[in-house]
């Protein structure tokens, strides 16, 4: 299974943009890139996902490198409520439903007021 690598922690000032990187150099052509975030004492929640093109939704944007070996989750204007652990995972659409879905340790994002 392809793996992802993320920095352990990042800090950002409130109301400024945040760029959270993820490396996935062994990504396959059928892997979708998913991002989730986990607030303290809660289960993770879905943020965004994409395959090749950049994606936008009401929560964030996902920028995917042309070679797909890395991606960046962009929070356009961080608020204190965005403080969480962010996980980047790969989902193999060719193996959907038979996936040994694994999460790494993610990036702990701290927002400075």
Partner 1 sequence: DGGITQSPKYLFRKEGQNVTLSCEQNLNHDAMYWYRQDPGQGLRLIYYSQIVNDFQKGDIAEGYSVSREKKESFPLTVTSAQKNPTAFYLCASSASVGRINEKLFFGSGTQLSVL
Which residues contribute to the site for partner 1 (CB under 8 A)? 32, 34, 36, 41-46, 49, 85, 87, 93, 96-106
Token digits of residue 94:
């060719």
- The answer to whether 62 and 50 are in contact (CB under 8 A) is yes
Q: Tell the smallest beta-carbon distance from residue 2 to partner 1 (Å).
A: 15
Q: How far apart are CA 12 and CA 89, in angstroms?
A: 22
- Nearer to partner 1 among residue 13 and residue 46 (C-beta): 46
Q: How far apart are CA 92 and CA 62, in angstroms?
A: 18
- Nearer to partner 1 among residue 26 and residue 46 (C-beta): 46
Q: Tell the smallest beta-carbon distance from residue 19 to partner 1 (Å).
A: 21
Half-sphere exposure of 38 (CA within 13 A, CB side): 14
Q: Tell the smallest beta-carbon distance from residue 74 to partner 1 (Å).
A: 19
């Amino acid at each position: 299974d392809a793996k992802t690598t993320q920095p352990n922690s990042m800090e950002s000032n409130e109301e400024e943009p945040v760029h959270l990187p993820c490396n996935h150099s062994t990504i396959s052509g059928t892997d979708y890139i998913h991002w989730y975030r986990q607030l303290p004492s809660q289960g993770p929640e879905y943020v965004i996902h994409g395959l090749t093109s950049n994606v936008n939704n009401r929560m964030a944007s996902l920028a995917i490198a042309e070679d797909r070996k890395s991606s960046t989750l962009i929070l356009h204007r961080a608020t204190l409520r965005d403080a969480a652990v962010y996980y980047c995972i790969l989902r193999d659409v060719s193996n959907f439903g038979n996936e040994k879905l694994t999460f790494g340790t993610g990036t702990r994002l701290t927002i400075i007021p």
